[in-house]
Amino acid sequence: MSKLLEKIALSLVKGIGPKTARSLVSALGGVSQVFSASDEQLLSISKISKPIVESLRNPYIFDRAAQEISFMERSNVTPLFYLDSDYPKRLEFCEDAPILLYAKGNLNFNNRKVIAVVGTRSSTAYGRDMCERIICDLSKYDPLIVSGLAIGIDGAAHKAAVDNNLQTVGVLAHGVDSIYPQSSRAIAARMLSNGGIISEFVSGTVPIRENFPKRNRIIAGMCDALIIVESKKRGGSIISAELAYGYHREVFAVPGKASDLLSEGCNDLIKYQKAVMITAGKDVAREMNWSTPSAKQKQRELFPDLNVNEKMILEAIRSNSGLAIDEMGAKTGLNSSELAQILLQLEFNGLVRVLPGKIYESA
């Protein structure tokens, strides 16, 4: 049985979500061990019940996984398992992130700067213009632009990214075998050469309502900052903002007239201090402490400026020839959230790398 078959099958098990799947893999030592474990071993793990064990034994999940592999081979789709090096690293620190993603295109999810841009489908000329201006302003910093490939602000964000030669990724609420809505097909085709599309759903999955909040958590989790351009008081964009806020991402909102229903959500986020008000891309760059990269800065810094905690973690890793994150916590006294953020920055700076089993060593 192939490793990929097992990974896809695990993602299809009824009753197992991302958190439980990770717990199983961690407790048993790997995906193969999850399927070879005895009933007693499985039932000894927290939140594993007899119905879940029965679902793990269901041959359907392997038949469906084999079908998906066949589709992937025909369609140039790349699987991204959460333990793989090319899985979006920012999602690794979101407990509810998918264990498996399906990607199509020319993609680098681990760009040093990742911005998500979302907003209403019923966008106005003002909203689309602000979206395009902000992304044009940000193009000098070369961020990856993430959105949901919907009509309105999402489409404007993807188009602005393509027009400014930026990588852009559309996160789907259905399988990568189709594009919804049909009006997004043209921009999706343009995105494939410098970006592409991703989804946690197998081919043939249709865009039902329940899938969109799941899609939104991926958008919110894989970015450094999320920008909302036009949103009603309730809707998918506000859900994305709340998720990003919960993931400790920076949240920005473009204001509108107090009387505009399509700006009510943005205005509320600003009013209740859940988002920073912006009117230009330079506002985002300032808040994110970005500087325009020079040729010298694009090269790896041999002696980067590190703060006290970064130096402490790097020294601990170097002294022990590699450490797991829980061992680092014991040695440094930092909690897992603090460690995750610092390790991500050290990895982006080329100072540490992740080995299988989430072991960190100096680069």
pLDDT in tens, 68-98: 999 999 999 999 999 998 899 999 889 999 9
Q: What is the pLDDT, as a whole number, of residue 274? A: 94
Looking at residue 42, its amino acid is: L
Measuring CA to CA, how many Å separate 348 from each of 36, 67, 113, 118, 214? Answer: 37, 36, 10, 25, 27
Is residue 302 very low, low, confident or very high in pLDDT (cuts 50, 70, 90)?
very low
Residue 116, Cβ neighbours under 10 Å: how many?
30
Mean pLDDT in residue range 209-216: 95
CATH 1.10.10.10, the chain: domain bounds: 300-362
The alpha carbon of 304 is separated from its chain's Cα centroid by a whole number of angstroms, namely 27
Encoded amino acid at 291, one letter = S
pLDDT (tens digit, 9 = 90+) per residue, 110-143?
888 999 999 999 999 999 999 999 999 999 999 9
Give the dihedral sign, CA 334/336/338/343.
positive
Query: What is the pairing mode between strands 144-147 and 114-119?
Result: parallel
Name the more confident of 298 and 165. Answer: 165
Alpha-carbon separation of residue 132 from 139, 207, 290 (angstroms): 11, 27, 19
Residue 293 has pLDDT above 60, yes or no: no
Q: Which CATH number among 3.30.390.50, 3.10.20.590, 3.40.50.12660, 1.10.10.10 corresponds to the domain 300-362?
A: 1.10.10.10
> Under CATH, what is the fold of the domain 105-287?
Rossmann fold (3.40.50)
pLDDT at 85: 84
Looking at residue 292, its pLDDT comes to 65
Say what the pLDDT of residue 11 is.
Answer: 97
pLDDT mean over 27-38: 95
Average pLDDT over the chain reads 91
Among residues 17, 172, 9, the alpha carbon closest in space to that of 96 is found at 17
169's enclosing H/E stretch is strand 168-171
Report the C-alpha gap between 181 and 133 in whole angstroms: 25
Where exactly does CATH 3.40.50.450 map onto the chain?
105-287
- The CATH classification number of 3-74 equals 1.10.150
pLDDT in tens, 262-273: 999 999 999 999
Average pLDDT estimate for 341-361 = 79
Lowest mean per-residue pLDDT among 199-203, 308-312, 348-352: 348-352
In the chain, list all ranges with CATH 1.10.150: 3-74
For residues 51 and 49, give the distance between their C-alpha atoms in angstroms, rounded to a whole number. Answer: 6
Work out the average pLDDT over 287-299. 61
Whole-number Cα distances in Å, 67 to 32, 35, 220: 19, 19, 30
Label residue 301 by pLDDT band (50, 70, 90).
very low
Q: Say how far residue 131 (Cα) sits from the centre of its chain.
A: 21
Q: DSSP secondary structure string, 220-260?
A: HHT-SEEEEES--SSSHHHHHHHHHHHTT-EEEEE---TT-
